[in-house]
Amino acid sequence: MAELPKTYDPKSVEPKWYQQWIDNHDFEADAHSRKPPFSIVIPPPNITGVLTLGHVLNNTIQDILARRARMQGYEVLWLPGVDHAGVATQTAVEKHLWRTEKKTRYDLGREEFLRRVLDWQDKHGGIIIKQLNASVVPRTGRGNAIRSMRLTSALS
């Protein structure tokens, strides 16, 4: 019998199982299933940075509830939200811009600033979805940030 390692190495175990779950479509809900439905929408984290321990706790509880419902025979959909707080994103980008380049959004102009916000969203939004190791098909959510940015710009 092979000896078990003294410490758990997730990189040697989890990729195989995660890929099997994806291949089996274990993370997909069937809208036409006869099973009773059960769904949870992960509250969308702002893309102002990375996930915190509070996010981890919340998502762990949701994961437990989703797995329990699946074991009880429900058709489960666990869907992550995407950033809905364009104002918070704009503020994070403006702070980063000032800290790294000593410039404001007015120095860049509207189009360049929007490009920077979208770059920020692509970078940090992707990090958050990856951190969640989300049991879902990722979505970009770009439209929400752009609409929020335009509204914010119109008000300022």
DSSP string, 65-133: HHHHHHHTT-EEEEEE-----HHHHHHHHHHHHHHHHS--HHHH-HHHHHHHHHHHHHHHHHHHHHHHT
Mean pLDDT is lowest, of 90-94, 119-123, 124-128, 144-148, for: 144-148
What Rg do the C-alpha atoms of the chain give, in angstroms? 20
Report percent pLDDT > 90 for the chain.
26
Query: Residues 14-67: pLDDT tens digits?
Result: 889 888 888 888 778 888 999 999 998 877 666 666 677 887 888 889 889 998
Query: What's the rounded Cα separation, in Å, for the pair 121 and 96?
Result: 13
